[in-house]
Structure 1
Amino acid sequence: MTSSLMQQTMRGPRWNRALSDPLFVLSLALQLLVVAGLVRAQTCPSVCSCSNQFSKVICTRRGLRDVPDGISTNTRYLNLQENLIQVIKVDSFKHLRHLEILQLSKNHIRNIEIGAFNGLANLNTLELFDNRLTTIPNGAFEYLSKLKELWLRNNPIESIPSYAFNRVPSLRRLDLGELKRLSYISEGAFEGLSNLRYLNLGMCNLKEIPNLIPLVRLDELEMSGNQLSIIRPGSFKGLVHLQKLWMMHAQIQTIERNAFDDLQSLVELNLAHNNLTLLPHDLFTPLHHLERVHLHHNPWNCNCDILWLSWWLKEMVPANTSCCARCSSPVSHKGRYIGELDQNYFHCYAPVIVEPPADLNVTEGMAAELKCRANSLTSVSWITPNGSIMTHGAYKVRISVLNDGTLNFTNVTMQDTGTYTCMVSNSAGNTTASATLNVSSTENSSFSYFTTVTVETTEAAHDEGHPTVQQKNGPTPSSGIWETLPPSFTTTTTTARTPLSTKATDKTYTVPVTALIDGSLNTLDEVMKTTKIIIGCFVAITLMAAVMLIIFYKMRKQHHQQNHHAPTRTIEIINVDEDCVTGGPTMEGHLTLPSLEHEHLNHYNAYKTAYNHASTINSIHSSAHEPLLIRASSKDNIVVNKDTADRCKTYEKDVDRFVRRNKGHTGLERHEGFFSIFWTSN
Structure 2
Amino acid sequence: MVNVLDGCLIRLSVLCLLPQAGLALWACVRACPASCTCTQERSCSVLCDRSALAELPKEFPCEASAINLDKNRLKFLSERAFGTLPSLKSLSLDHNNISFITPGAFKGLPNLVELKMAHNEHISYLHTRTFTALKKLVRLDLSDCNLFNIPDRIFIEQTALKELLCFQNNFRRIPGAIRGMENLTHIYLERNKIEAVAYNSLLGLGSLKYLNLQENRINVIHEMAFQDLVRLENFYLNDNLLSELPRVSFKGLGRLKMLNLGGNQLTNVSKTWFSDLLELEVLYLDRNRLLFIEEGSFENLTSLITLHLNSNNLTTLPFPVFQPIYFLGRLYLFRNPWECDCTLEWLKEWMESYKLVRDIPCASPSSVAGLDLSEVVFAKVNGTCVDPGELNLTTASTDIASTTENRFNNLISKLLQQELREEMGNGTESLRNGTFLDPEDGEISDGVRGQMSQASQSILYFLVVWFLFGLIGLSDMDICVSCT
TM normalised by structure 2 equals: 0.59
Q: Secondary structure at the match of 2:374?
A: helix
User: What is the percent sequence identity of the aligned residues?
Assistant: 27
Does residue 326 (structure 1) correspond to residue 361 (structure 2)? The answer is: yes
Q: Secondary structure at the match of 2:207?
A: coil
CA contact (8 A) 1:169 1:192 kept: yes
Any residues of structure 2 matched to 1:105-116 within 5 Å, and which?
Answer: 105-116=143-154
Unaligned runs of 5+ in 2: 13-60, 72-81, 387-393, 395-484
Residues 32/254 of structure 1: CA separation in 2 closer, same or farther (3 Å cut): closer
Which residue of structure 2 lines up, in the alignment, with residue 228 of structure 1?
Answer: 266
Given candidates 228, 239, 248, the residue that maps to 1:192 is: 228
CA contact (8 A) 1:264 1:288 kept: no
Which residue of structure 2 lines up, in the alignment, with residue 279 of structure 1?
Answer: 317
Letter in 1 for 2:207: S
Which residue of structure 1 lines up, in the alignment, with residue 240 of structure 2?
Answer: 204
Which residue of structure 1 lines up, in the alignment, with residue 9 of structure 2?
Answer: 35
Letter in 2 for 1:202: N
Any residues of structure 2 matched to 1:196-345 within 5 Å, and which?
Answer: 196-210=232-246, 211-287=249-325, 289-317=327-355, 323-344=358-379
Given candidates 126, 129, 135, the residue that maps to 1:97 is: 135
CA contact (8 A) 2:219 2:243 kept: no
Question: How many Å separate the matches in 1 of 2:180 and 2:337?
Answer: 50
Q: Secondary structure at the match of 2:283?
A: strand
Question: How many Å separate the matches in 1 of 2:93 and 2:297?
Answer: 48
- Structure with greater proportional strand content: 1
Deviation digits for residues 647-673 of structure 1 (CA, Å, limit 9, x no counterpart): xxxxxxxxxxxxxxxxxxxxxxxxxxx
Residues 300/347 of structure 1: CA separation in 2 closer, same or farther (3 Å cut): farther
Letter in 2 for 1:154: R
Letter in 2 for 1:197: E
Given candidates 172, 176, 188, the residue that maps to 1:134 is: 172
Which residue of structure 2 lines up, in the alignment, with residue 526 of structure 1?
Answer: none
Which residue of structure 2 lines up, in the alignment, with residue 81 of structure 1?
Answer: 118
Q: Secondary structure at the match of 1:57?
A: strand
Displacement of 1:235 after TM fit? 2.4
Question: How many Å separate the matches in 2 of 1:164 and 1:77?
Answer: 25
Displacement of 1:222 after TM fit? 0.3
Aligned CA-pair RMSD: 3.4
Question: How many Å separate the matches in 2 of 1:46 and 1:295?
Answer: 47
Does residue 63 (structure 1) correspond to residue 97 (structure 2)? The answer is: yes
Deviation digits for residues 236-290 of structure 1 (CA, Å, limit 9, x no counterpart): 2211211110111111122232222122221100111111111122432211541
Which residue of structure 2 lines up, in the alignment, with residue 163 of structure 1?
Answer: 200
Deviation digits for residues 606-646 of structure 1 (CA, Å, limit 9, x no counterpart): xxxxxxxxxxxxxxxxxxxxxxxxxxxxxxxxxxxxxxxxx
Any residues of structure 2 matched to 1:170-569 within 5 Å, and which?
Answer: 170-180=207-217, 182-210=218-246, 211-287=249-325, 289-317=327-355, 323-344=358-379
Question: How many Å separate the matches in 1 of 2:325 and 2:158?
Answer: 42
Residues 315/159 of structure 1: CA separation in 2 closer, same or farther (3 Å cut): same
Letter in 2 for 1:93: F
Displacement of 1:157 after TM fit? 1.9
Letter in 2 for 1:263: L
Letter in 1 for 2:271: P
Residues 326/347 of structure 1: CA separation in 2 closer, same or farther (3 Å cut): farther
Question: How many Å separate the matches in 2 of 1:227 and 1:102?
Answer: 33
Question: How many Å separate the matches in 2 of 1:218 and 1:37?
Answer: 52
Letter in 2 for 1:308: W
Residues 338/165 of structure 1: CA separation in 2 closer, same or farther (3 Å cut): same
Letter in 1 for 2:99: R
Question: How many Å separate the matches in 2 of 1:166 and 1:144?
Answer: 9
CA contact (8 A) 2:70 2:92 kept: yes
Displacement of 1:43 after TM fit? 8.7
Letter in 2 for 1:97: K
Q: Number of aligned pairs?
A: 320
Which residue of structure 1 lines up, in the alignment, with residue 477 of structure 2?
Answer: none
Q: Secondary structure at the match of 2:349?
A: helix
Letter in 2 for 1:35: L
Deviation digits for residues 82-108 of structure 1 (CA, Å, limit 9, x no counterpart): 112112222322333333221111111
Residues 31/104 of structure 1: CA separation in 2 closer, same or farther (3 Å cut): closer
Letter in 2 for 1:331: S
Question: How many Å separate the matches in 1 of 2:333 and 2:201?
Answer: 35
Which residue of structure 1 lines up, in the alignment, with residue 397 of structure 2?
Answer: none
Displacement of 1:37 after TM fit? 12
CA contact (8 A) 2:106 2:133 kept: no
CA contact (8 A) 1:265 1:288 kept: no
CA contact (8 A) 1:252 1:275 kept: yes
CA contact (8 A) 2:69 2:92 kept: no
Question: How many Å separate the matches in 2 of 1:97 and 1:33?
Answer: 24
